[in-house]
Amino acid sequence: MRRHGHERLPSQLCMKRNLVNAMLFALAAAGSIGPARADIFALKNQGEVRGELVNKNESPRKSYVVKTASGGHVMLDAAEVAEVRPQSAAEMKYDRYRGDCPDTVDGHWKMAEWCKTNRLSTQREDHLRMLLEIDPDHEAARHALGYSQINGRWVTQTQVMAESGYIRSKHAPGKWILPQEEELLATKEKVNRAQLEWNTKLKRWSSWIGTDKASQAIAGIKAIDDPLAIRGLTRFLEDDQRQDMRLHYVQALGRINVPAAMDVLVGVSLFDRDEEIRLAALDEIVSRDYRAGVGRYVQALKYKDNGVVNRAGAALGKFKDESSIGPLIDALVTNHTYVIKKGDPGQTSATFGNSPGSGGPGGFSFGGSGTETKKIDHENRDVLQALVDMTGGTSFNYDVKAWKYWFVAQKKPATLDARRDGS
Q: How far out from the chain centre does Cα 104 lie?
A: 53
Is residue 257 pLDDT above 50, yes or no?
Answer: yes
Domain segments of the chain as ranges: 11-135, 175-290, 317-412
What is the pLDDT averaged over residues 310-325? Answer: 95
CA within 13 Å, CB half, 26: 13
Pairing of β 167-168 and β 73-77: unpaired
DSSP labels, 372-421 = EEEEEEEE-HHHHHHHHHHTTT---TT-HHHHHHHHHHHHSPPPP-TT-T
Q: Answer for the pair 159, 53: CB distance below 8 angstroms, yes or no.
A: no
- 117-173 tens-digit pLDDT: 999 998 999 999 999 999 999 999 999 999 998 888 999 888 888 888 998 888 888
What is residue 343's predicted lDDT score, i.e. its pLDDT?
58
11-135 belongs to CATH 2.40.50.140 = no
What is residue 35's predicted lDDT score, i.e. its pLDDT?
47
Q: Report the alpha-carbon distance of residue 123 to residue 330 in Å, rounded.
A: 80
Q: Please, is 90 exposed, middle or buried when counting C-beta atoms within 10 Å of its C-beta (0-12, 13-18, 19+)? A: middle
Q: What are phi and psi of 57, to 5 degrees?
A: -95, 10
The answer to pTM > 0.85 is no
SS3 content of the chain, % helix, strand, coil (to 5): 50, 15, 35
What is residue 186's predicted lDDT score, i.e. its pLDDT?
92
The better pLDDT of the pair 154, 363 is held by 154
